[in-house]
Amino acid sequence: MYGIRELGRMIPRGLDTQVSVTRLRRKNTLEDRVAGRTVLITGASSGIGRAAAVLIGAAGATVALVARRESELREVAAEIESLGGKAAVYPCDLNDFEALDAMAAQVLADHGGVDILVNNAGRSIRRRLDESYERFHDYERTMRLNYFAATRLMLALLPGMRERRSGQVVSVLSVANLFGGPGYGAYIASKAALDSLTATLQAETLTENIRFSSVYMPLVQTAMTASNPIYRDRGLTPEQGAQAICDAIIDRPRRIAPLLGRISALVDSLAPEAVDNGRSTRFQKGM
């Protein structure tokens, strides 16, 4: 079985996704999917979110940029506009639900609706169980941003999508959701909750032309991983991660994941005890 570090080394050129084959025969382009539409991206001030916003804006979308840092959002907006795109800046701390509600209401008032929501903002915490006994708040704050904020935003935007019978929600998860992430319990659990919710919502809205796409992202070189020296200079670039989001928008798959991640999930379902042993051994070596 493979960990995040191993997958980061083994997928250097881009995300080996289940849609890679369909790129050879796809009929739609990013422009086809987003031109003239409104796309809201959380965590748009840096990393994957920023790179995705630039690609989507350049393809003709009006991009609603959401993150805490207004100055950085304005830099992203200026870059999109320099490429001929349109962008609107919505500074918001998504941990503040009142601010989130106000932001969502303003976006709807400004644009009349959101066609595509990209749940990209997230918080990662690396902390072992024996370091967490007195830190329940780590689980609370991770869940608040990664799951509850994304859920609250979906509840604000989905009514309009359902009324128009058209829309998509792309959620950036972790490849560790497929094979486990010892040491990242709070983070993996929050992403798993979002994954389970969107699977349920997909079943409820399948006949309404609403699509929920989960992107099981491998390690990406962002500010989130930069503080950990073992991940430095490993994994995908933000631009490669952003391309996976764009692939999800173009092809509207239910899931996008590295091949090794999907194989790991299959093996886990067939032989969970063996997989647990592999996870434990890998974790003990990495402590």
Quick one: average pLDDT of 87-105? 98
The one catalytic residue in 2, 187, 216, 231 is 187
pLDDT at 152: 98
**What is the chain's mean pLDDT, rounded?**
83
pLDDT tens digits, 43-89: 999 999 999 999 999 999 999 999 999 999 999 999 999 999 999 99
pLDDT band at 5 (very low <50, low <70, confident <90, very high): very low
Does the annotation count 216 as an active-site position? Answer: no
pLDDT band at 278 (very low <50, low <70, confident <90, very high): low
Which range has the worst mean pLDDT, 34-38, 96-100, 250-254, 259-263? Answer: 259-263
All structural domains of the chain with their residue ranges:
4-286
Q: Are 111 and 37 in contact (CB under 8 A)?
A: no
Of the candidates 119, 124, 147, the one whose C-alpha atom is nearest the C-alpha of residue 213 is 119
pLDDT tens digits, 220-272: 765 655 455 555 555 689 999 999 999 999 999 999 987 666 666 665 566 56
State the chain's maximal CA–CA distance in angstroms.
54
pTM of the model: 0.83
Q: Are 16 and 259 in contact (CB under 8 A)?
A: yes
CA distances from 43 to 47, 63, 243 (A): 8, 12, 16
4-286 folds as Rossmann fold (3.40.50)
Distance CA 121, CA 2 (A): 25
Of the candidates 127, 194, 125, the one whose C-alpha atom is nearest the C-alpha of residue 154 is 194
Q: In sequence order, which ranges of 83-120 are alpha helices (DSSP H)?
A: 97-111
pLDDT at 184: 72
Distance CA 194, CA 247 (A): 20
